[in-house]
Amino acid sequence: IPKRDASMSLAYIVIAFFAFGIGAIAGLLQGLVRGGMIELPDWMNYYQILTAHGVLMALVFTTFFIIGFMISGISKTTGGLSTFSFRAGWIGWALMFFGTAMVVATILLNDASVLYTFYAPLKASPWFYIGAALLIVGTWVAALGMFSAYRRWRKNNPGKMSPLFAFMSIATLVLWMIATLGVAAEVLFQLIPWSFGWVAEVNVLLSRMLFWYFGHPLVYFWLMPAYIAWYVCIPKIIGGKLFSDSLARLAFILLVLFSIPVGFHHQLMEPGISEKWKFIHVILTLAVVVPSLLTAFSMFAVFETAGRRRGAKGLFGWFTKLPWKDVRFFAPMVGMLMFIPAGIGGIINASNQMNAVVHNTIWVVGHFHLTVATSVVLTFFGISYWLVPALTGRKLTKWVNRLGIIQTLIWSVGMLFMSGAMHFMGLLGVPRRTDYTTYMDSEMALGWIPYYQQMAIGGALLFVGGMLMIGIFIYLLCFAPKGQEEYPIAEMEQNAEQTPRILERWRIWLTVAAVLILLAYGYPIFDILQNPAPGSPPLRTW
Ligand code: HAS
């Protein structure tokens, strides 16, 4: 990767880990407060640190890491960024940075304790929303630079399929651009005018609907870069090859198509949406599971073929041939394994009747700590072990590799404790997003306390794992010995079939995506505007 592109990618990743460090402290604090183990000083409150934790981890850490990672891979696979792409990358970084600073400042001032989902009726300072908007616009500008790099490559290589890494990044960005239109509309037309006092009321149901139009694809925006590493980087790390270029591209196209028109599965218990539309969103949710099943199939195939190439025998002999002592493989692999129960949990959530049991309980928090905070985050850690030294011109040393394996184990055991307790407590009916309370010493709530303690043990382990990761990151950034670390990009199998060209005809896929979105959201939004729920403002003021 050209040095200037590497520095830019690194600038994103540094901010990501900075946010991660502060987010981890906020996470520990909110866990201890909720469990009744500490009390906060008067100038701080539970919802404030919960918001800081959610925003810094789920929105800032992920977004900066993802953009930085994709910039590096696009530069690597398309032959370096043009001046336009490079400039767009830096302008995007600056906008995202200032947006984040505004968001964090308003949270610290206790002017924005609106949680990471920030939809109405919770209201923040307008500067929080303006900061969030800047963060998003920054990603758009950076995305324009990446789109341009991709186009340039295709123009210079007519008739060829684009490099898989670049294709997958573009699919992720396409999904992101379509999804963020929803939250941008919510912020611009509802939340900013309302928080400035220009309008007295907002349509709360519409605000939630626009948020979840964005909120579900947001989780795939986190997942897809992890999948990029699974499909493109892991095979190379384990000495294997890409299993199927076509399957990988198909999985990404399906994610683009099906991950947007599904937002009502977050609103299944909401009275303002009719069950017919919820039913359509549930069906589409089950469709969006398919690309993840394709991914599971593909990963098993990669592991088996790589293992057999190394002489593995029998049905499961390949398992022992995998490089378990290499943290670049180990961390994402644990993430993959955890994605099996995490995905099952998602399917439970999506099933209407079972959603009635788990919705708004701490089960949901357990679900997303397994998905994003384990499968995705362990993969991001796994990427960092090679990406940071590759970008800084350093080496991942043997002892840091070993430390990385310990880090992965601490994180995973912490998560098993914490997320396990959360799933179980959810089934007992423990609500999510509540400050410490014993519900006036109700017997049932007092019975939850031992599980809170299990959660706290898990949380403490996660904090230790998080700080260890920060330490390793700083070492790889500044102190590791100089050298060359490989940027792993897998090659195709030798006699692989040609990928059908239709998989790269974006016009077709964008049209299908638009049709599905119109089908799933067109009428419900029209209906809400025509017949606002009691208490909502009429159409002209939203
Ligand atoms: Fe979810 C709520 C449904 C996936 C994140 N989800 C959330 C929230 C977050 C989140 C943050 O339908 C909370 C939002 C809030 O604050 O309110 N989710 C699903 C479904 C899936 C799913 C159906 N979620 C994710 C992913 C996330 C994420 C991924 C983050 C990255 N989720 C829901 C629903 C709710 C929800 C409802 C609302 C709940 C409520 O009531 O509020 C699916 O995409 C899951 C499909 C996944 C699989 C697993 C495939 C397994 C693979 C690994 C294979 C392993 C290998 C290793 C190869 C089917 C690919 C083998 C190796 C060896 C060595 C053996």
- The answer, yes or no, to whether any atom of ligand 1 lies below 6 A from the CB of 359, is yes
Task: Based on the residue annotation, tell me whether 368 is a catalytic residue of this protein.
Answer: yes
Single-letter code of the amino acid located at 356: A
Q: Is the CB of 296 under 6 A from ligand 1?
A: yes
* CB 290 less than 6 A from any atom of ligand 1: no
Q: Residue 527 and residue 529: Cα distance in Å, rounded?
A: 5
Torsion angles phi and psi, residue 139, rounded to 5: -65, -35
Walk along the chain (542 residues) and give the pLDDT tens digit of each residue. 999 999 999 999 999 999 999 999 999 999 889 888 889 999 999 999 999 999 999 999 999 999 999 999 999 999 999 999 999 999 999 999 999 999 999 999 999 999 999 999 999 999 999 999 999 999 999 999 999 999 999 999 998 999 999 999 999 999 999 999 999 999 999 999 999 999 988 999 999 999 999 999 999 999 999 999 999 999 999 999 999 999 999 999 999 999 999 999 999 999 889 999 999 999 999 999 999 999 999 999 999 999 999 898 989 999 999 999 999 999 999 999 999 999 999 999 999 999 999 999 999 999 999 999 999 999 999 999 999 999 999 999 999 999 999 999 999 999 999 999 999 999 999 999 999 889 999 999 999 999 998 998 999 999 999 999 999 999 999 999 999 999 999 998 777 788 999 999 999 999 999 999 999 999 999 988 888 877 777 665 44
Helices (H) and strands (E) in the chain, counts: 20, 0
53 is annotated as an active-site residue: no
Please say whether the beta carbons of 466 and 414 come within 8 A: no
Q: Return the pLDDT at 271.
A: 87
Q: Which residues pair with 378 in a beta bridge?
A: none
Does 372 sit in the ligand 1 pocket, CB within 6 Å?
A: yes
126 three-state secondary structure:
helix
Instruction: Compute the distance between CA of residue 75 and CA of residue 78 in angstroms, rounded to an integer.
Output: 6
For the CA of 289, the nearest atom of ligand 1: 46
Q: Is 529 in the pocket of ligand 1 (CB under 6 A)?
A: no
Angle between helical axes of 164-185 and 204-228 (0-180°, round to 10) = 170
369 is catalytic: yes
How many Cβ atoms sit within 10 Å of the Cβ of residue 437? 12
Q: Is 346 in the pocket of ligand 1 (CB under 6 A)?
A: yes
DSSP conformation letters of 462-527:
HHHHHHHHHHHHHIIIIISPB-------PPBPTTPPPPPGGGG-HHHHHHHHHHHHIIIIIHHHHH
What pLDDT score does 540 carry? Answer: 54
* The pLDDT value given to residue 529: 86
CA of residue 340 to ligand 1 center, whole Å? 9
- Reading the block at residue 249, the tokens are 């591209």
**Per annotation, catalytic residue among 367, 463, 473, 521:** 367
| Residue in 62, 122, 218, 368 to alter for ligand 1 test, most ligand atoms within 8 A of Cβ | 368
- Structure tokens belonging to residue 219: 């989780």
- What ipTM was predicted for this assembly? 0.97
Report whether residue 533 contacts ligand 1, using a CB cutoff of 6 Å.
no
Closest ligand 1 atom to the C-alpha of 333? 57
Distance 371 CA to ligand 1 centre (A): 5
The confidence score (pLDDT) of residue 539 equals 62
CA distances from 4 to 12, 35, 85 (A): 13, 47, 12
